[in-house]
Amino acid sequence: TGDLGAPAYRKWDLEAWMPGRNGGEWGEVTSTSNCTDYQARRLNIKYKDEDGKNKHVHMLNGTAVACSRAMIAVLENFQRADGSVAIPPALVPYCGFSEIGRK
């Protein structure tokens, strides 16, 4: 998305297709940044390398999935014409069911 915070060296966004947005757009559901040693220096987190020297670790910083955005993506992509929603096969083991019936 182009928004790279000060501590981040590199950032990865995970996006989902959201057909209801302006006729269809990709929307960010989570992001992860490689902060190199920026955060570790401030927290003083170190490790000993093979030569016994103390060095700052490199850290990743990631957000959890934005639940509402993930739900929007599932609903918009898996809703059937009758109003029911098929649960994506990868999520069935976590949901315990394979569809949400229409009301």
pLDDT averages per 10-residue partition of the chain, 103 residues: 76 91 90 91 95 95 85 92 94 94 84
pTM strictly above 0.85: no
Query: Residue 17 belongs to what domain range?
Result: 10-97
Is residue 77 situated within a structural domain? yes
Is residue 2 situated within a structural domain? no
- Within its chain, how far is the Cα of 54 from the centroid? 32
H/E element, 15: strand 10-18
Q: How many domains does the chain have?
A: 1
Question: How far, in Å, CA of 84 to CA of 64, rounded?
Answer: 27
Is residue 103 situated within a structural domain? no
Is residue 76 situated within a structural domain? yes
